[in-house]
Amino acid sequence: MIAVQASPYPYFLPPASTALVVIDMQRDFIEPGGFGDALGNDVSRLAAIIPTVAQLLALFRARGWPVIHTREAHLPDLSDCPPAKIARGSAATRIGQAGPMGRLLVRGEPGNQIVPDLAPLAGEMVVDKPGKGMFWATGLHEALQVKGITHLVFAGVTTEVCVQTSMREGNDRGYECLLITDATESYFAEYKAATISMITAQGGIVGWAAPLAALEQAVSS
């Protein structure tokens, strides 16, 4: 076991049973002209974590530990996208409509791809999820069970939506979850802070949180 200094108390990481999950580091959320930008958000906040996520990926890859990437992605005919999801909000360009990087949040479109600096390597799992959480309608839980994964380290965006939903889903399925605080981000600083507080409250009711430096120190020692 590797002991990571985390909040609310140390997180014990078993190398043989741990996977990294990088949530939705897609062009649609991170680059101008994508879905996040269409909602009126400052996408530069999310782009700022790319180097830290890359460093976290390098740590796992150097040790041969499993890496999972997720994308919020819908079928081209939008048959897996509830009409309420398309209709919600006041975005000028909605899910499935054409933007500067193709149809928003649609599989195979340029904007739906993971940013180049964090691109998956051969053999790394890529999960296209129709919802906010990574377990719903994806078969991921069954795949992780086959691999003997019991612990999940999380990075990605946005902290309060897809990352938190995936952590809560994982917690309900018995996974021990650690969020790397400087490898996740929100369009709203206060939402990120509130999410980390909720995740670690009451003795880690959802999971643990720690900066990348704490994980690196624990692994190196």
Which positions are catalytic? Answer: 24, 129, 162
Q: Which residue has the tokens 């054409």?
A: 98
* Six token digits for residue 213: 């430096």
Pair 94, 86: CB distance under 8 Å:
yes
- Give, in degrees to the nearest 5, the angle at Cα 185 between 180 and 190: 110
Q: How far is CA 102 from CA 23, 74, 82, 162, in A?
A: 21, 13, 20, 22
Task: Kindly give, in sequence order, each residue whose CB lies less than 8 Å from that of residue 34, ignoring residues fewer than 6 positions away.
Answer: 26, 27, 28, 43, 99, 100, 101, 104, 111
